[in-house]
Amino acid sequence: MSNAMLSVESLSAWYGAARILYDLSFEVGRGEVVALMGRNGAGKSTTMKAIMGLIAQRQGKVVFNDADISKLEPYQIARRGLGFTPEDRRIFSDLTVLENLDIGRQPPRQFPDGAPAPLWTPERLFALFPNLAEMQDRPGGRMSGGEQQMLTVARTLMGNPLLVLLDEPSEGVAPLIVEQMANTIVELKKEGLSILLSEQNIHFAQLVSDRVYVLEKGQIQWHGTMAQLSASPDIQRAYLTV
């Protein structure tokens, strides 16, 4: 297990009296892109929020970078190098692109073996997302959904994370942007980042992910490599209903 960047053991979560997650266990290795797939309401976003400490009522163990983070506050988790991009983007609409990036800024970071984590500056991010470079001083609220989607990823990268939780990056954006997002994820993987992705769009997941966990009603129903999932239409039909 020492190879795992993120390892989740029996994670459960509740909203009020309603239980959403049932003893989830999974892991994400270093440099790996893992997709959490499943229908709407299956518990994908809740899983990410629970890992990030954003759900008050949660149980189970979350180990990130060899440290137990299950009792930490969200800001403490973020400061350990776990980045989070929420599905609803949550751009600070009154702040400009540059100011949004500044909020996400954190000091440089290293992997446990001493290797430096990718170090991000606004300049590097503008190279990755050329659209953003053209609108550095535009308030977040005056950007389109696709541009906001890029900004939310860029803002997370400003924290120089070791692993990014990417919640539904393809939801509600145009096909062209979805394609750019897929290219970005591939780029990030090359940089050595680990990514946990939640996704409903199998075409998108196929382009980027190594392994897949399929969620249904808050439980893991299937897991395997992306190749295995692509090769088994039965599983796709049963849980993803393509």
The beta-strand segments (E) located in 106-210 are: 163-167, 194-199
Give me the least distance between CB of 127 and other proteins, in Å please: 20
Identity of residue 74: P
Q: Which two tokens stand for residue 205?
A: 């997941």
| DSSP designation for 210 | S
Q: State which of positions 36-95 bind other proteins (CB under 8 A).
A: 38-41, 52, 54, 56-57, 73-75, 78-79, 84, 86, 90, 92-95
143 contacts other proteins (rule: CB under 8 A): yes
Tokens representing 241 are 């209903």
Cα radius of gyration (the chain): 17
Q: Which of 35, 14, 11 is nearest to 25 (CA)?
A: 11
- Asked if residue 10 binds other proteins (CB under 8 A), the reply is no
**Residue written as token pair 């973020």:** 78
Site for other proteins in 163-202 (CB under 8 A): 170-180, 182, 200-201
Q: Minimal distance in Å, beta carbon 26 to other proteins?
A: 20
Tokens 């998108």 -> residue: 204
Q: With beta carbons less than 8 A apart as the criterion, state whether 60 and 42 touch.
A: no
3-state secondary structure of 24: strand
Kindly state whether residue 99 participates in binding other proteins, applying the rule CB under 8 A: yes
Residue with tokens 């295995």, as numbered in its chain: 228
Q: Which is nearer to other proteins, 32 or 171 (CB)?
A: 171
Whose Cβ is closer to other proteins: residue 41's or residue 108's? 41
Distance CA 21, CA 74 (A): 19
Residue closer to other proteins by CB (options 29, 118) is 118
Between 5 and 101, CB nearer to other proteins:
101
Considering beta carbons, is residue 1 or 137 the nearer one to other proteins?
A: 137
The residues of the shown chain that bind other proteins, judged by CB under 8 A, are 14, 16-17, 19, 38-41, 52, 54, 56-57, 73-75, 78-79, 84, 86, 90, 92-95, 99-100, 102-104, 106, 142-147, 149, 155-156, 159, 170-180, 182, 200-201, 203-204, 207, 240-242
